[in-house]
A and B are shown apart, each in its own frame.
Chain A
Amino acid sequence: MTEIGLRHLLSTEGLRREQAEALLDTAASMEQALTGRAVRKLPTLRGRTVVTLFYENSTRTRVSFEVAGKWMSADTINVSASGSSVGKGESLRDTASTLAAAGADAIVVRHPASGAPHRIASWLDRVGHSHTDGHVAVVNAGDGTHEHPTQALLDAATLRRRLGPDLAGRRVAIVGDVLHSRVARSNAHLLATLGAEVTLVAPPTLLPAGVEAWPVTVTHDLDGHLATGPDAVMMLRVQAERMHGGFFPSAREYAVRFGLSARRADTLPDHAVVLHPGPAVRGMEIASAVADSDRAAISEQVTAGVHVRMAVLYHLLAGEDVA
């Protein structure tokens, strides 16, 4: 057992508060350990192999995992669906087994199907791998519209940097396309676990079925909610690539009702933080002036992403193997 008992990181739903806080504390220590140094390289994961297996496009998540692994001296290998045997029709299970047999200690998976990382983790746990020295850890780097746990952790890390280490009682609004957003789901669960009060702000057509069971409150009125003075506002990207059909009348109407304009941002309390998981569609869900303002923590989120992923790899790979 690792000290926080983490074998894989598949979702933030079900993550215990002490586990989440241990990951966030470790991320803060990673930042501290690397600040102001000539050499940004730690020997911690020397000899460990991290494979990123991406079936969807990504810039920041993939780069962030790769940098995190390299800064801790792990060997990182990138496999993308195009250019691999996936194109020849290899199944997900066979691809995962191949990577494990080739010596991966951790597989970081992004996949368009919700639940794919869970499946890989349960296959690998069942088979066991004599080629590696045992356990292969699986990290979910985004699966369909289900979860993106490291994104939620980096958002929480950013909020802790801006608002202080205890997020209990902090009020966070998550605004926009919740229906297609794995980021929203992961954030709702993680922030609630950390004691924050989460409000989803979205048109009824962009809320998922079953949202009543989430640990959140829901509203359709952005201006009304901003008037209550939230501590943070997280804008979600409108995921046009996952939309087949009319979820709102027009982009213009969406921007007017649910976009974070400069005028709206000005109504926020001075300390309030604006987050966006990126890539942002400027002029749609967030105005350029807001995205570039001091209030916005968008590039801080990217930096925090590296530290959070270092923390995740540290907890999954640095200690003795989980029995």
Chain B
Amino acid sequence: MPTRRRGGPVPNGASNAEGERELLSPADLARTVARIAHEILEKTAESGAPVVLLGLPTRGIHLAHRLAERITAIDPTVGSVRTGTVDPTLYRDDLRRQPTRPLADTDIPAGGIDDVIVVLVDDVLMSGRTVRAALDALRDHGRPRAVQLAVLVDRGHRELPIRADYVGKNVPTNWAEDVVVSLVESDGVDGVAIR
């Protein structure tokens, strides 16, 4: 599914020659991550259960690390937030519809996910099928107290009854458009653009 592609974003609101339009500048992206970190703290604090952030490859992993850092910076009393990754590929329902996909890392943090609040983290939420596959994968790793979902961009076009608990930006899109998320860790630059 062509939800993202490389390429640096263009100045705010402007379209470049390729028809790319910036949705989030590097500063916007940093503020958005900070806000989601606040929301996670607020929403999970009352339960008292520890939080584990699990990123979905590839950019969700980077976002999970950033969120963990922000959460600790905002409230040092929570200590370091455990992070990990879960690769949903082996649980996808569309494997037979396309060429064999390469696998990514799965890294469940020590201590496991039993009785913790797992926050799945991804860059773009669209059909919901990746999240569905990740939920199935989690079921084989343990029984969390709750599972929540944080995404940087919700672009609509859901095909399953799945909804994010934390959304960086809601972006109405049409099918043909690409949402391009760039992060310093993988792309050398921060930003979100649409084309």
Q: In the complex, A320→B101 CA distance in Å? A: 10
> Does B174 make an interface contact (CB < 8 A)?
no
Q: In the complex, A38→B47 CA distance in Å? A: 25
A38 and B140 form a contact (CB under 8 A): yes
* Interface residues contributed by chain B, number (CB under 8 Å): 23
> In the complex, which residues of chain A have a beta carbon less than 8 angstroms from the beta carbon of B107?
32
- State how many angstroms separate the Cβ of B61 from the closest Cβ of chain A: 14
Interface of B is mostly: loop
> In the complex, which residues of chain B have a beta carbon less than 8 angstroms from the beta carbon of A315?
100
Give the interface segment out of A40-48, A74-82, A175-183, A228-236. A40-48
> Does B66 make an interface contact (CB < 8 A)?
no
Interface of A is mostly: loop
A11-65 at interface with B (beta carbon < 8 Å): 22, 25-26, 29-30, 32-33, 36-39, 41-44
> In the complex, which residues of chain A have a beta carbon less than 8 angstroms from the beta carbon of B140?
37-39, 41-42
B101 and A42 form a contact (CB under 8 A): no
Residue of B nearest to A29 (CB): B103
> In the complex, which residues of chain A have a beta carbon less than 8 angstroms from the beta carbon of B108?
36
Of B97, B99, B101, most A-chain CB atoms within 10 Å:
B99
Interface size grouping (class) on chain A: 20 to 34
> Does B104 make an interface contact (CB < 8 A)?
yes
- State how many angstroms separate the Cβ of A320 from the closest Cβ of chain B: 6
> In the complex, which residues of chain A have a beta carbon less than 8 angstroms from the beta carbon of B103?
25-26, 29-30, 33, 314
> In the complex, which residues of chain B have a beta carbon less than 8 angstroms from the beta carbon of A314?
90, 100, 103
Give per-residue flags for A280-323: 1 if the beta carbon is below 8 A from chain B beta carbons, else 0. 00000000000000000000000000000000001100111100
Q: In the complex, A10→B176 CA distance in Å? A: 41
Residues of chain B having any CB pair with chain A under 8 Å: 87, 90-91, 95-108, 112, 136, 139-142
A-B contact pairs, 23 of them (CB 8 A): A4-B100, A22-B102, A29-B104, A29-B105, A30-B103, A33-B103, A33-B106, A38-B141, A38-B142, A41-B140, A42-B91, A42-B140, A43-B90, A44-B91, A44-B95, A314-B100, A315-B100, A318-B95, A318-B96, A318-B100, A319-B98, A319-B99, A320-B99
